[in-house]
Structure 1
Amino acid sequence: MFKPKKKLGQCFLIDKNFVNKAVESANLTKDDIVLEIGLGKGILTEELAKNAKKVYVIEIDKNLKIFEDKLKEKYDNIEVIWGDAVKVDLNKLDFNKVVANLPYQISSPITFKLIKKGFDLAVLMYQYEFAKRMVAKEGTKDYGRLSVAVQARADVEIVAKVPPTAFSPRPKVYSAIVKIKPNRNKYHIENEDFFDDFLRAIFQHRNKSVRKALIDSSKELNYSKDEMKKILEEFSNTNLDIKNLINEKVFKLSVEDIVKLSNEFYRFLQNRDRL
């Protein structure tokens, strides 16, 4: 008898209604190659195998091989990769969609690893509170670094709220099925690494103005506080729009505003360093 491992965050989806909801949301065809993260007992994997051309599954726990063996008796389009999804080289896998009940402790790193790799559509299960932060809009209490980091790169929507009873063992919190569609042409990010550093710096002080946040977190951009004060004085004199944006509170700025400000600041610093 297999016993789920708490340290691996194993809460297996057992409610077929939500399995079907996730699969339907992925709009699968026989041309799709799907990545699943976490084999579980194979309930979701089986539905994916029925509807897609091929299914890759990344699973860390080799004790789940019994479920792989059962699946492979019926389906020849499933390939299980035994390893840690955070460490597996996704560039070696040719998939275009992702459908998974993610272990909650790897939600953030896996999401950004997937977005960096690229895909057509993902339908992923998250802790509900995490999902709310992913879709949050500016000015709300859930709006933060995660909201902007995801929405700058993808359109995100909550498809369904999922109760603890849909899992075994039951988690203590609600979950959510989230649909993610990359939107690479919606915003242009000048430099991905700088953008992520910029987000980390300003959202450490989300209730302060961007100016104060950047000064207080200047080390995130490799400057001293005094250097940052001087730089921001020069930067704010670039134009009135920039001045207004850096004097606004961080959590009130839209994704578009933050991407624009990050791009402008990156270009300003690049030009300044050349002088």
Structure 2
Amino acid sequence: MLPDIDAVTRDDLIRLITRYRLRLIKRLSQHFVVDPTVIRDIINHVPSGSKVLEVGTGIGVLTYYLAKVASQVVTIEIDGRLMRIAEQVLRGLDNVSLVQGDALRIPWPSADVLVSNVPYSITSPLIIRIIREGVPRALLTIQREVANRLISEPGNDDYGRLSIITQCNYSVSVLNTYAPDSFYPSPEVYSSLVVMIRKEPCYSDMKILESTTNILFRHRNKVLRWVLNKYIGPDAVNAVANAGVNVNTRVRQLGINELVKVADSLKPFINSIVNHD
């Protein structure tokens, strides 16, 4: 049994992790939370009694504390070695279900909240799946740079496809940022905790919006007319211009409402777009 969340210390968590003398797998981007502040920040944003889906069980520390506030926790871990340790750490908690598998591939149960100390190697694919699954709320610890992309506005260096697809479907806020030594082993970057709350999507056909932004943001600094001509043709330029979008605007300066108009205008050209994806 772990100490109460208000009493647990960084030393407690490091001792627990190092006890097992794990050789971590680099390609899985394995970093464990050892700063109780991170855990408390997450727990404080999980509604009491909610159903939680956790991606990346690790050895079960965060899972343990989630189980104290949630009615049910389903937690997914790809590494069988970690799963066996988590089974020991979580023994006796009857509201936790452990699933071994690749969280990007296996079916997800319905949940009120998805929580993840995200392995850096799967950050973007996981966010895209969250959006496609329509998860009501997500609490993610991710690289600070990716967090900046999620909340970035048109014209900023961080603004891109992930900003648009996410903001079209979710309200996103950065709750806190943590130094590398909040995790073990320490990554080379700072991490941020973000909350994503589902809202009415800005566009009904995400396939078209994803395909459109995929093409446009290959050349984010070019004007829209140039990109459309290169990949689709002058008819697409005319269609977009007729929708009221300035085709002489640089791609990185297009707001979400403008991009929705672009995507809608390109519906007749969808086959050309998909062929370039």
Matches within 5 A, 1:174-193: 174-185=190-201, 187-189=202-204, 191-193=205-207
Can you list the C-alpha shifts for 1:11-68, whole angstroms capped at 9, x where unaligned?
1111111111012123x211x1101111112121011100001101110111013432
Equivalenced residues, count:
250
Q: Which runs of 4+ in 1 moved over 6 A?
A: none
Q: Determine which of 193, 201, 226 is the counterpart of 1:212.
A: 226
Q: Which amino acid aligns with 2:259?
A: I
TM-score, with normalisation over the residues of structure 1? 0.86
Partner of 1:231: helix, strand, or coil?
A: helix
Does the 8 A contact of 1:60 with 1:85 survive in 2? yes
Q: Distance in 2 between matches of 1:114 and 1:135?
A: 16
Q: Distance in 1 between matches of 2:56 and 2:99?
A: 10
Q: What is the deviation of 1:74?
A: 3.0
Can you list the C-alpha shifts for 1:217-239, whole angstroms capped at 9, x where unaligned?
x1xxxx4xxxx124323x15635
Q: Which amino acid aligns with 2:242?
A: T
Q: Distance in 1 between matches of 2:38 and 2:191?
A: 11
Q: Distance in 1 between matches of 2:179 and 2:67?
A: 25
The residue aligned with 2:14 is none
Matches within 5 A, 1:156-167: 156-167=172-183
Q: Distance in 2 between matches of 1:2 and 1:236?
A: 55
The residue aligned with 1:111 is 127
Matched, 1:83 2:97: no
State the percentage of identical aligned residues. Answer: 29
The residue aligned with 1:2 is 22
Provide structure 1 residue ranges, at least 5 long, that are not aligned to the other structure. 271-275
Does the 8 A contact of 1:4 with 1:169 survive in 2? no
Q: Determine which of 29, 33, 46 is the counterpart of 2:48.
A: 29
RMSD over aligned Cα, in angstroms? Answer: 1.7
Q: Determine which of 229, 237, 241 is the counterpart of 2:234.
A: 229
TM-score, with normalisation over the residues of structure 2? 0.85
Q: Which amino acid aligns with 1:80?
A: L
Q: What is the deviation of 1:139?
A: 1.2
Provide structure 2 residue ranges, at least 5 long, that are not aligned to the other structure. 1-20, 271-277
